Amino acid sequence: MNFDLLLFKSLENSIHYAYKVRDRYFFLNYTLATCSLLCLILYFIFRKKMYLCYIFYSATTILYFSWESSQLDLRNSLTDFVGGNFVALLTFSTSLFGYSYFVTMNKQFNKIILLSKVVAGIQLMNLLQSFIFHSITVVQFIAITNLYIFPIGVYLALKTRIMYNYLFVIGWFAFGAGSILFGLGHAGIVSFSVIPFGNQVILFATSIENLFMLLAIGHRVYTTEKNRYQAHSRLNHSYSQLAKVFYHHQISQIQAGAQLESTMKTNLGSGIVMSFDIIGSSKIHHKNLREFLESAIHDCTAILTENYSDKDMAANRYRVKEMGDGFLCSIGYPLASPHKGSDADLSLKLARRFIKT
């Protein structure tokens, strides 16, 4: 009776442990699926292939963990596939993600990108030969080549001193260390009893890796948007300063990609040139002479831009050039006059307004 009870308790504990492990796999798979969904959204926003590579990497990882937890019935019908071909698929997706990360995040390092491309090519050939020859030994040996990602990540982090590269290294170190411990445990070289988290070490390592990978991607997105916002602010400031010299329609056309020379009429035309000058300004005695002259010229030039229309390219007058205590302006060309009448009559009216000002 006691023996039967002991056997029953052992069976109950085994079932409880199995469900506990299965729940962990479910949790990790849901986490990976959520990360993949987030990367899919990022792909549609930024159109970077790195996010698709991460989704592919996550999908192969989910499939592997699903098989490990018996969520998919692959043990009987696809033993060879899981044993050899699937490992090759997983290592290929890993190398592909590593290559896409280096291309997207550190595209200025050409030699590193070339190396990661070569490794990804090796992994692709490894995947093809695995499907043909089912060589598990070769697959496991080739999988070691993915360890190159960690030292390169360390180099990039120290070289660039950018936060997302540091996060990438931490995540990859956690995954690499967990994979090595998991492999040593399965090979019988090290007992799972001395390995942290036992045979579940790969679960925790993958969780930590995905957490830091998402942090790295998130920081990269934040950095990109921050730089874009700052560049946009600097550009807007530049345009606002240019608006002090150029007309609004010129700024709009330049923003659209037009050359400065094409924003004003350069063909033959007719108009009247008027000269405005404060005669004997140097002989005027005034305690705030400089401020007085600047105010007078400012009020007169403000008259020039009255009735300005960027659509019709028209204004009272066009300011040609400032000269000391005066300026040159043209009437009728290159900006059309918004008023009816001859250019001569309009010039005379403008001169009288200058005098009154």
Tokens standing for residue 155: 């180099």
Q: What pLDDT is attached to residue 73?
A: 45
Q: What pLDDT is attached to residue 84?
A: 55
**Residues 226 and 272 reside in one and the same domain:** no
CATH code: domain of residue 277: 3.30.70.1230
Inside any domain, residue 289 = yes
Preceding peptide of 334 cis, ω within 30°: yes
Inside any domain, residue 244 = no
**Residues 229 and 274 reside in one and the same domain:** no
What's this model's pTM, rounded to 2 decimal places? 0.62
Inside any domain, residue 3 = no
**Residues 308 and 219 reside in one and the same domain:** no
**Residues 303 and 212 reside in one and the same domain:** no
Sheet holding 326-331, edge to edge: 272-277, 326-331, 318-323
Of 180, 211, 234, the residue at which a domain comes to its end is 234
Of 191, 210, 234, the residue at which a domain comes to its end is 234
Tokens standing for residue 152: 């390169």
Helix axes 149-160, 86-105, angle to 10 degrees: 10
Bridging pattern class, strands 318-323 and 272-277: unpaired
Of 234, 253, 279, the residue at which a domain comes to its end is 234
State the Cα–Cα distance between residues 218 and 214, nearest whole angstrom. Answer: 6
State the Cα–Cα distance between residues 130 and 141, nearest whole angstrom. Answer: 12
CATH code: domain of residue 102: 1.20.1070
Inside any domain, residue 223 = yes
**Residues 133 and 175 reside in one and the same domain:** yes
Residue 146 has φ and ψ, to the nearest 5°, of -70, -10
Helix axes 343-356, 289-304, angle to 10 degrees: 150
**Residues 228 and 291 reside in one and the same domain:** no
Contact status, residue 29 vs residue 58, Cβ threshold 8 Å: no
Residue 271 has φ and ψ, to the nearest 5°, of -170, 180
Contact status, residue 17 vs residue 11, Cβ threshold 8 Å: no
**Residues 282 and 182 reside in one and the same domain:** no
Domain of residue 58 covers 16-234
Say how many C-beta atoms besides its own lie within 10 A of residue 129's C-beta.
Answer: 17
Q: What pLDDT is attached to residue 92?
A: 81
**Residues 224 and 284 reside in one and the same domain:** no
Contact status, residue 351 vs residue 291, Cβ threshold 8 Å: no
Inside any domain, residue 245 = no
**Residues 152 and 24 reside in one and the same domain:** yes
**Residues 109 and 188 reside in one and the same domain:** yes
Number of residues assigned to the chain: 357
Count of domains forming the chain: 2
**Residues 83 and 131 reside in one and the same domain:** yes
Query: Strand pairing partners for 329?
Result: 274, 319
Inside any domain, residue 161 = yes
Which of the residues in the chain have pLDDT under 70? 1-28, 67-87, 130, 133-146
- The three-class DSSP label of residue 334 is coil
CA distances from 299 to 223, 247, 292 (A): 45, 17, 11
Q: What pLDDT is attached to residue 291?
A: 82
**Residues 188 and 278 reside in one and the same domain:** no
Inside any domain, residue 243 = no
